[in-house]
Structure 1
Amino acid sequence: METTSGTLDEALGRLHATGPEFHGFLSNHGPMAVEALVRNGQARTVHRWLDHYVTKLEDVPSARTRITDTNWREALGDPSRVTDWTTYMARQVAERPWREVLAEWWPRLVPGIAGAATHPVIRVGHAVRTLLDDGEEAPRVAEFAHALGYWAARHTPLPVTVRPVGTATPADALAALPPVADQETGVLNGLAQLPGTEGWLKAAESLNTPQDPDAARCQLAALVRAATRRYADYGHGNAVMLVHSATAPNAVLRTLPALPRDLWSLSLGAAWAASAAITSLYAPPDALPPLRAGRLTPEDLFERAAAHGDEHVIKLTDTACDVASWTGEGDGQALSAAVRSMELITPDH
């Protein structure tokens, strides 16, 4: 990862002077996108990309009331307290190792994985990947605190409890999910339809979710692979939102190595529920014709994603490159999903 020049740390410093959302509810993708750009050999593009992106962003919201170890429950899921939460999490990581903070807060936060359309957990996944792989410099620990604080503020449980106890593979379980009746709506209204969608809970609970930690990790990787590949065929249902059906479980997968192993199966269940919900909210009835993308390499593909510029394209391409790296022969279908996103999502220049 190209961090010797400090590109990522400089970018995070710029972004921490902005709020986690803008235009009322849109998530600030900056920290996720710049981490992916640097990770995938595009550090030279980061500040140019950020110069454009920060023009959309807003100031850090005003603080309201101090959050403490005793009153945090009353502030959980309150987006108006996001700066209070960031301040609290910053104190936490200043007082003890970030892994201890993660182990304590993960089981508290993961039931609310659907918050802000899963953007907070995705932001946590990018932050944890950097801390695990590239060191614990102050801007990276600060980003971890910002990500956790954002998740706590946007903590949103699904309106239906999913306890997957079946035998289905992720690909088969995704294919079996029925769509909600009204897909032309926002995320919260879409989620509210899940309890009344006939057959949804049965399909969502059909997934095989092993209790053994290593088996759970393998199944989570299979979910990421299946959701990424599925985007190539069905991403047109909502080209932006369906990106998260793959990137959210991948964020959880990236976080597993920093978590106690006894939380891995729980994490699989939460990631699956989020991916299943997003799939049903936006999946179209029919697949697109197969994409003829030609021979692709992850390096060339990510250069194309960086040139395209849209943050969702960058994030999905990052996940597609992960999937392709899991076998020595690569995964052309996963990489095709990234190409599909470039076709479906308007470039951001």
Structure 2
Amino acid sequence: MDLTSPNAPDTSGTLDEALERLHTFGPERDGWLSNHAPMAVEALVRHGQAPGVHRWLDHYRARLEDMPDRFTEVTPENWQEALGDPRRIADWAAYFARETAGRPWREVLAEWWPRLLPGIAAGATHPVIRVGHSVRTLLSADENAPRVTELAHALGYWAARHQPLPPLSAAAPAADAAAALDAVAPVPDQSGGIQGRLGQLTAFPRWPGRPVAGPEAARARLTELVRAATHRYATYGYGAPIMLVHAATAPNAVLRTLPALPRALWAPSLEAAWAASAAVTAAYSPARPADPGAVPGGLSAEEVFARAAAHGDDHTIKFTDTALDVGGATALAAALRSVELNPPAF
């Protein structure tokens, strides 16, 4: 894939073309595995990799399934009974398509964000990550039909897979986000899938240790959490190289969404993002850190992302995208670690 100017506006139309290709497909395959293509192509285009996006999609096509059949229409009167019903994935996508066609997308997002936030663990956090990629595009580029439709599909996926965590108690407070992640106790049985692992959760460290003092403090703590989770991957990612990227990418999706939300929702967004990151950490983190190994020196952020793009793995692309948001040598080292640990796509 060719490398062009990172973060430049996509004047080629590649992202819109890719999203239109993808909106005929469902958000999952094999009953529960997530379709990562909308998130990956957004990151590829944002970081200058637009020329290779359609080729990447051609390879990824084998992992896509058609949008499932409609089940029962979701309406303003019955949405609560439809929440968390995966049979209604297509119904939820249609519902949000109608909602975003009838009023501004920010208004729809602000109404539904607090309804969906308690189920942030839905689909192993992929729906909220997809929302974060979609909102980032809408905030930084034209609000055209493919991009608004992408938000509708992302919100619909989240609603259909909505999954609250079990009731949790608060363990001892932690001084900062890195210490809080280190204090998360692994679930006793890490042999099964994510549903069984999340069902074993009982308590998380209390972080932040005291209530945040307003929206800006919430954003600062959320930024701290994304940084800590990204850095931690360099030494703990070996335990579950694919799943542990979500400890960073899920809270980063929330961070990306904050500017589109009323400021009153920023503090509860921080609370949910911490729960998501801690849940993934508890479910998949190994007991001990590993030596991250030698890291090639002198690579720029653009060169690191180019390596992730050439590697082609969707999780690696998305994690490297988050690492570039964090910035700095440690985050770039973590991104290179993901390139090393995850199998290449092509």
Normalised TM-score (structure 2): 0.95
Residue 174 of structure 2 contacts residue 180 of structure 2 at CA under 8 Å; is this kept in 1?
no
Sort the Cα spacing of 1:77 and 1:317 in 2 relative to 1 into closer, same or farther, 3 A: same
Alignment match, 1:69: 76
Q: Following TM superposition, by how much is the alpha carbon of 1:160 offset from its aligned partner in structure 2, in angstroms?
A: 2.0
Deviation at 1:285, TM superposition (A): 1.4
* Structure 2 alignment gaps of length 5 or more: 1-7
Corresponding residue of 1:32: 39
* Distance of 1:23 and 1:67 partners within structure 2: 24
**Hey, what's the Cα distance between the residues in 2 that align with 1:255 and 1:164?**
28
Q: Could you tell me how far apart the structure 1 residues matched to 2:149 and 2:180 are?
A: 37
SS in 2 for 1:33: helix
Find the counterpart in structure 2 of residue 280 from structure 1: 282
Tell me if 1:220 matches 2:227: no
- Secondary structure of the 1:253 match is helix
1:128-167, CA deviations, whole angstroms, 9 ceiling, x for partnerless residues?
Answer: 0000001201100000000000000000000124669945
Q: Determine if contact 1:164/1:205 at 8 Å carries over to the other structure.
A: no
Report the AA paired with residue 345 of structure 1.
N
Q: Counterparts of 1:290-329 in structure 2 under 5 Å? A: 290-293=292-295, 294-324=297-327
Q: Quick one: which of 62, 85, 95 aligns to 1:78? A: 85
Q: Summarize the Cα distance change of 1:163–1:134 in structure 2 as closer, same or farther, 3 Å threshold.
A: farther
Given that residues 63 and 81 in structure 1 are in contact (C-alpha distance below 8 angstroms), is that contact kept between their aligned partners in structure 2? yes
User: Is 2:135 aligned against 1:128?
Assistant: yes
CA distances 1:164-205 after superposition (whole Å, capped 9, x unpaired): 99452100100111111111211110011112xxxx33x255
CA offsets, 1:103-130, max 9 Å, x none?
Answer: 0000000000000000000000000000
Provide the C-alpha distance between the structure 1 equivalents of 2:332 and 2:169, rounded to a whole number of angstroms.
Answer: 30
1:327 is matched with: none
CA contact (8 A) 1:166 1:209 kept: no
| 1:45 counterpart residue number | 52
Q: Is the 8 A contact 1:165 1:208 kept in 2?
A: no
Deviation at 1:23, TM superposition (A): 1.3
Residue 181 (structure 2) pairs with residue 174 (structure 1):
yes
Contact 1:209 1:269 survives alignment (8 Å):
no
Q: 2: distance between equivalents of 1:165 and 1:106?
A: 29
- For residues 59 and 119 of structure 1, the distance between their equivalents in structure 2, rounded to whole angstroms, comes to 18
Q: Identify if the C-alpha distance between structure 1 residues 90 and 133 changes in structure 2 by more than 3 Å, giving closer, same or farther.
A: same
What is the CA–CA distance in structure 2 between the aligned matches of 1:134 and 1:237, rounded to whole Å? 37
Contact 1:204 1:273 in 2 (8 A): no
The yes-or-no answer on 1:183 pairing with 2:190 is yes
- 2:310 corresponds to 1:343: no
CA distance in 2, matches of 1:204, 1:238: 25
Unaligned runs of 5+ in 1: 325-330
Question: What is the aligned partner in structure 2 of residue 244 from structure 1?
Answer: 246
When structure 1 is superposed on structure 2, of 100-109 and 63-72 the one drifting more is 63-72
Moved more, 69-78 or 286-295: 286-295
Distance change >3 Å, CA 71–CA 163, structure 1 → 2: farther
Identity, in percent, stands at 62
Indicate the residue corresponding to 1:96 in structure 2: 103
Structure 1 residues 75-84 or 293-302, which shifts more? 293-302
CA, structure 1 residues 41+55, in 2 after alignment: closer, same or farther (shift >3 Å)?
same
Counterpart of 2:255 in structure 1: which amino acid?
Answer: L
Match of 1:4 among 11, 14, 18: 11
**Residues 222-262 of structure 1 deviation map (CA, whole Å, 9 limit, x = unaligned):** 00000000000000110000000000000000000000000
